[in-house]
């Protein structure tokens, strides 16, 4: 096992493209760290630099306390699991798992012992004589993991290993990989663009965008306290609603003024984000998670009541994803990217709310929503940083 440290590591290609920019990141010995972000954010490049498959332009990479910038891949004792499985179709499961050990000249008795142990761990004992073409996608992925496990490496690197599986198998394999990592205790870095994988598997999650680390935290903290607008928009499904406005007053008390929509800031909201009082009159972005909404009492004049018309409803069974066109002139902030990396436009006046599936809400209905002010995230419109303390 090993601690892995990025000390201001930069990757710049010959054409000037900056794939990773001054990355400062420490993965603790035995930790399961997930690198997540949209396509092209630099997460796979960072992983490949650990493996020695990409040269480092600047900074230092340390593996187990040793500077690894110029170490050959074979000298790093790192095992990598790819999206494509990369199995040899003419070899059996046992031969695929044993391949790396044979290349190293390991004694046959030791190879047989390790293959048997690994097959038992991965529940592949009944398939050792089969070839990859006779296996399901999930079984092939376990063989690819077995080939990495059998080597007893310092760290495992996994580059979107589940993206070729269907949704049901992905769920099973997420749990399987997390279980195996806890059992072995080997440092693991897992790259994905799927935030469900990120939030359910990692001890910590590193969110990247455009080659820059945006936030490093435990999954729950990413959800509850996103550091900036990008993290807020990327983490969470459905994504957070973003509304442009400013901090002002209503009836002499602090309030969020979001176009024609006014949401009073009560004592719990100000206690949760005391720095809001320093942003009076300044442009802000209010972020409201869809699951934070409640159906409002039938009181049109109630403070903070958000009214609109249901555009359409996605029935998810236990819950409804309700798309609401607002009456008030609050708009989604321009320049903010949603979870797919596409820029949101300032013309949108539609909110998404996750509500109880038994409510029977239909398209075209009038609806009122409320949200506890303390559950509203507020970001400085200029810096895009969260306003907290």
Cβ-contact 380, 297 below 8 angstroms: no
The per-residue pLDDT of the chain, averaged, comes to: 89
Residues 209 and 320 in one domain: no
As a whole number, mean pLDDT of residues 35-56 equals 95
What pTM value is reported for the model? 0.87
Q: Is 101 a member of any domain?
A: yes
386 located within any domain:
no
Q: In this structure, are 133 and 69 located in the same domain?
A: yes
Summarised one tens digit per residue, pLDDT across range 293-310 is: 999 877 666 667 888 999
Residues 14 and 45 in one domain: yes
Overall number of domains in the chain: 2
Residue 48 to residue 160: CA distance in whole angstroms: 12
Q: For residue 261, give the CATH number of its domain.
A: 2.40.50.140
Higher pLDDT, 32 or 296: 32
Q: Are residues 206 and 106 in the same domain?
A: yes
pLDDT value of residue 163: 81
What mean pLDDT do residues 72-101 have? 89
Give the pLDDT of residue 168: 79
User: In this structure, are 216 and 245 located in the same domain?
Assistant: no
**Which 3-state string (H, E, C) describes 7-73?**
EEEEEECCCCCEEEEEEEEEECCCCEEEEECCCCCCHHHHHHHHHCCCCCCEEEEEECCEECCCCCH
**43-57, 165-179, 213-227, 249-263: which range is least confident on average?**
165-179
Q: Tell me how long the chain is.
A: 389
Domain contains 365: yes
Q: Which residues of 277-287 are buried (b: 16+ CB within 10 A; e: fewer)?
A: eebeeeebbbb
Q: Which domain-ending residue is among 233, 257, 284?
A: 233
Which H/E stretch holds residue 351? Answer: strand 350-356
Per-residue pLDDT at 253 exceeds 80: yes
pLDDT digits (tens, 9 = 90+) for 268-297: 999 988 899 889 899 999 999 999 999 987
One domain, residues 45 and 150: yes
Supply the range of the domain harboring residue 361: 239-380
- pLDDT exceeds cutoff 60 at 336: no
Residue 85 belongs to some domain of the structure: yes
Q: Tell whether the model's pLDDT for residue 324 goes beyond 90.
A: yes
The residue out of 178, 208, 233 marking a domain boundary is 233
Distance CA 122, CA 138 (A): 11
Q: Assess whether 123 and 227 both reside in one domain.
A: yes
In a shared domain, residues 59 and 34: yes
**Separation of first and last alpha carbons in the chain:** 38
pLDDT value at residue 85: 75
Task: Kindly give the pairing relationship between strand 187-192 and strand 155-159.
Answer: parallel
Last residue of a domain, one of 205, 233, 261: 233
Summarize the confidence of residues 332-354 as an average pLDDT. 59
Residue 165 belongs to a domain: yes
Whether 151 and 182 map to the same domain: the answer is: yes
Looking at residue 344, what is its pLDDT?
45
- Mean pLDDT of the 198-204 span: 93
Interhelix angle 137-149/108-121, rounded to 10 degrees, is 130
Q: 105-147 pLDDT, tens per residue?
A: 889 999 999 999 888 888 888 999 999 999 988 888 889 888 8
In contact, 8 and 59? CB cutoff 8 Å: yes
Residue 221 shares a structural domain with residue 110: yes
Same domain flag for 225 and 262 = no
Asked if 294 and 302 touch (Cβ cutoff 8 Å), the reply is no
Note the pLDDT of residue 301.
62
On whether residue 388 sits in a domain, the answer given is: no
Question: Is residue 387 in some structural domain?
Answer: no
* More confident site: 378 or 183: 378
Q: Are residues 161 and 270 in the same domain?
A: no
């Amino acid at each position: 096992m090993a601690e892995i440290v990025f000390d201001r590591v930069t990757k710049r290609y010959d054409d000037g493209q900056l794939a990773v920019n001054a990355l400062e990141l420490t993965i603790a010995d035995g930790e399961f760290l997930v690198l997540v972000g949209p396509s092209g954010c630099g997460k796979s490049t960072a992983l490949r630099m650990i493996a020695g498959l990409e040269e480092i332009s600047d900074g230092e990479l340390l593996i187990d306390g040793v500077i690894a910038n110029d170490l050959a891949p074979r000298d790093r004792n790192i095992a990598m699991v790819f999206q494509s499985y990369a199995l040899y179709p003419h070899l059996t499961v046992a031969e695929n798992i044993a391949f790396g050990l044979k290349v190293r000249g390991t004694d046959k008795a030791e190879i047989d012992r390790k293959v048997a142990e690994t097959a038992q761990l991965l529940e592949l004992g009944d398939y050792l004589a089969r070839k990859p073409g006779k296996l399901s996608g999930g079984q092939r992925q376990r063989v690819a993991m077995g080939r990495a496990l059998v080597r007893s490496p310092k760290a495992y690197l996994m580059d979107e290993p589940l993206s070729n599986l269907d949704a049901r198998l992905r769920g099973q394999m997420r749990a399987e990989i997390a279980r195996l990592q806890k059992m072995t205790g080997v440092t693991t870095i897992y790259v994905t663009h799927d935030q469900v994988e990120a939030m359910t598997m990692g001890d910590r999650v590193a969110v990247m965008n455009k080659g820059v680390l945006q936030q490093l935290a435990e999954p729950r903290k990413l959800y509850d306290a996103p550091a900036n607008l990008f993290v807020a928009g990327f983490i969470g499904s459905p994504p957070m609603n973003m509304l442009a406005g400013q901090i002002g007053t209503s009836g002499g008390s602090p309030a969020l003024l979001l176009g024609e929509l006014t949401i009073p800031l009560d004592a719990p909201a100000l206690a949760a984000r005391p720095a809001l009082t320093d942003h009076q009159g300044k442009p802000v972005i209010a972020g409201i998670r869809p699951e934070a909404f409640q159906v409002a009492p039938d009181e049109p004049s109630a403070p903070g009541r958000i009214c609109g018309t249901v555009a359409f409803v996605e029935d998810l069974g236990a819950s409804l994803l309700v798309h609401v066109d607002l009456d008030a002139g609050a708009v989604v902030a321009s320049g903010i990217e949603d979870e797919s990396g596409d820029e949101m436009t300032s013309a949108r006046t539609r909110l998404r709310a996750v509500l109880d599936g038994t409510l029977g809400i239909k398209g075209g209905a009038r609806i009122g929503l409320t949200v506890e002010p303390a559950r509203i995230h507020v970001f400085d419109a200029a810096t895009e940083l969260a306003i907290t303390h």
